[in-house]
Amino acid sequence: MNHNKTKKKVPQHTEAVCWGYEAENGPDIWGQLSSGYGLCSTGICQSPIDIVHPTPAKLSLITFNYQSTPLNIRNTGNTIEVAYQSGSWIEVDGMKYHLLQFHFHAPSEHTVAGDLSDMEMHLVHESENGMLAVIGALIKSGSINTAFNPFWNYLPSTTGESKQIKDVILNAYDLLPIRKHTYRYTGSLTTPPCSEGVKWFVLTTPIEMSHSQIAAFKSIMFGNNRPVQPLNGRELLVDATKESNIGSKD
């Protein structure tokens, strides 16, 4: 009882609720950890999903306007996240979404016909009116990916550790595959509070990274992937435009 009394004196931030990926705080019980996390168990439009039998469609172009940003990287305990300076955005279907941050999961969260990839990168965007759009890129073992070199040596290895390095400049556009066809559906955040109404754009072409690049991440963090959620009849589209829907970088 005293414990509860003490707790009330200090307002608790949502961040203080220790969700994670272990049995005692993992995806199966996120919905029970906080009153604000209800959608994690009751939501019916959740992410990630297994991408299977998408419907081909002529999809609109994603216009990229990503600027370079100085490195600001943090190990949150549940992911490794790069905060993005303001001024970068994508535009799709007449709506502009500003890039806030990108982060990584290992193994992947989305699966393709049941197959997990080694990792997945999420670029999280928000529109002026608070709509979220996430670009997901699956990462598979292959050739070394030099686009990641500028910051891959700076991965913070302990929870709460962050690094701000002004001299290391990166542009998230350089991390993406050339071909920017996507799978599209409407889902949720894959972490608490599992908010719905998130526009998902999962690139059909995976990023390649070398085995040792992937191992460098996994040595710090592994198993931060939510299991796939039921589609529940949602529309899942895949870009069927013949021309390479490569977008543009201003």
Cβ proximity to Zn ion, 106 vs 170, nearer residue: 106
Report in angstroms how near the CB of residue 4 gets to Zn ion at its nearest.
Answer: 33
Residue with nearest beta carbon to Zn ion: 122
Report in angstroms how near the CB of residue 103 gets to Zn ion at its nearest.
Answer: 6
Contacts with Zn ion in 121-150 (CB under 5 A)? 122
- Phi and psi at residue 119, to the nearest 5°: -150, 175
Segment interacting with Zn ion (CB under 5 A) among 2-10, 115-123, 145-153, 215-223: 115-123
Report in angstroms how near the CB of residue 65 gets to Zn ion at its nearest.
Answer: 22
Pair 108, 202: CB distance under 8 Å: no
Segment interacting with Zn ion (CB under 5 A) among 17-25, 114-122, 198-206, 207-215: 114-122
Distance, in Å, from the CA atom of 55 to the CA atom of 240, rounded to the nearest integer, reads 9
Pair 33, 12: CB distance under 8 Å: no
Q: Show the beta-strand stretches assigned E in 34-193.
A: 50-51, 55-57, 63-65, 69-75, 80-83, 89-92, 95-105, 111-112, 119-127, 132-141, 162-170, 182-188
Cβ proximity to Zn ion, 110 vs 122, nearer residue: 122
Segment interacting with Zn ion (CB under 5 A) among 14-22, 37-45, 119-127, 171-179: 119-127
Distance, in Å, from the CA atom of 84 to the CA atom of 100, rounded to the nearest integer, reads 5
Cβ proximity to Zn ion, 62 vs 121, nearer residue: 121
Say how many residues touch Zn ion, by CB under 5 A: 1
Segment interacting with Zn ion (CB under 5 A) among 42-50, 87-95, 120-128, 214-222: 120-128
Report in angstroms how near the CB of residue 124 gets to Zn ion at its nearest.
Answer: 7
Cβ proximity to Zn ion, 200 vs 245, nearer residue: 200
Cβ proximity to Zn ion, 102 vs 151, nearer residue: 102
Cβ proximity to Zn ion, 122 vs 180, nearer residue: 122
Report in angstroms how near the CB of residue 190 gets to Zn ion at its nearest.
Answer: 5
Please enumerate in sequence order all residues whose Cβ is within 8 A of that of 54, keeping only pairs 6 or more positions apart, or say none.
183, 236, 237, 238
Distance, in Å, from the CA atom of 63 to the CA atom of 229, rounded to the nearest integer, reads 29
Report in angstroms how near the CB of residue 55 gets to Zn ion at its nearest.
Answer: 24
The amino acid sitting at 216 is: A
Residue position matching structure tokens 């220790």: 18
* Paired residues of 202 in beta bridges: 136, 183
Residue position matching structure tokens 């701000």: 164
Cβ proximity to Zn ion, 172 vs 245, nearer residue: 172
Which residues here bind Zn ion, judged by CB under 5 A?
122
